[in-house]
Amino acid sequence: MLDLLTDSKRSVSDIAAHFEMSRPAVSQHLRVLLDAGLLTEQRHGRERRYQFVPERLGLVRDWIAQYERFWDNHLQRLQEHLSKGGPNG
Amino acid sequence: MLDLLTDSKRSVSDIAAHFEMSRPAVSQHLRVLLDAGLLTEQRHGRERRYQFVPERLGLVRDWIAQYERFWDNHLQRLQEHLSKGGPNG
DNA sequence: TTGACAGGTAAGCGAATACTTACGCATATT
DNA sequence: AATATGCGTAAGTATTCGCTTACCTGTCAA
């Protein structure tokens, strides 16, 4: 579902058409994702268009980053260092 | 629980003491984490000491990385490139 | 203004989950 | 040998999850 919402805004019915579950079920999923801050909602007339906003995944990434000594300690530090002056402030 | 197991090996009873749930419940959690490859188990006599091994979190990180255009696209690519010749093969 | 369409919400239900207690086995202590 | 300790597992249960159907509101078209 997030994949579906990565590149495009989509209406609920549109999303539901890609899955086997009912539209209300999709609505409930969207609600959870919206509450989690992973989606934005835009109202256009009677439609609501949702889009994935991955910023919040940064929290998960940060949590994981605590344990990244294993993967590449040095690169990790470089990343942290650069990101302070990077595109995200 | 993972936080608890990050810097130190711990016995089951030790871990259980930090939570309100029963020791068997903790045991079941540890089993899941062990099966997921997130923990190592070492037997010392009748004790079993568990420790967090974050390598597997790389899978989650990779999934997140798909959406990382927001954070730092270029550094991301560098990281992927380097990790192919990095400490993890 | 009436009917069709988009979508959120409530109620209910089966399945999965997360726990509990009870128990058995291995190791340590006396 | 007898007892205590550490732990895993089995069985049972309350709770949570994920869905469905039914229904309601708000918007668009005729």
Tell me the C-alpha distance between B72 and A86, whole Å. 7
A34 CA to C10 C1' distance (Å) = 20
Q: Do B57 and A75 touch (CB under 8 A)?
A: no
Q: Give the pLDDT band of residue B35 (cuts 50, 70, 90).
A: very high
Residues A51 and A7 sit within 8 Å (Cβ to Cβ) = no
How distant is the Cα of A36 from the closest Cα of chain B, in angstroms? 16
Which of B55, B57, B79 faces A79 most closely, judged by CB atoms?
B79
The answer, yes or no, to whether residue B85 has pLDDT greater than 50, is no
- Convert the pLDDT of each residue in A27-84 to its tens digit: 999 999 999 999 999 999 999 999 999 888 888 888 888 776 555 554 444 444 445 4
CA-wise closest residue to B65 among A88, B73, B37: B73
How distant is the Cα of B15 from the closest Cα of chain A, in angstroms? 19
- Give contacts of B55 with chain A, Cβ < 8 Å: 70-71
Residues B54 and B38 sit within 8 Å (Cβ to Cβ) = yes
Is any atom of strand C within 7 angstroms of residue B42's beta carbon? Answer: no
The pTM of this model reads: 0.75
B67 CA to C9 C1' distance (Å) = 32
Is any atom of strand C within 7 angstroms of residue B29's beta carbon? Answer: yes
Query: Which contacts of B2-9 are long-range, i.e. CB under 8 A and separated by 24 or more positions?
Result: B2/B33, B2/B38, B2/B52, B5/B39, B5/B50, B5/B51, B5/B52, B6/A66, B6/A67, B6/B52, B8/B51, B9/B42, B9/B49, B9/B50, B9/B51
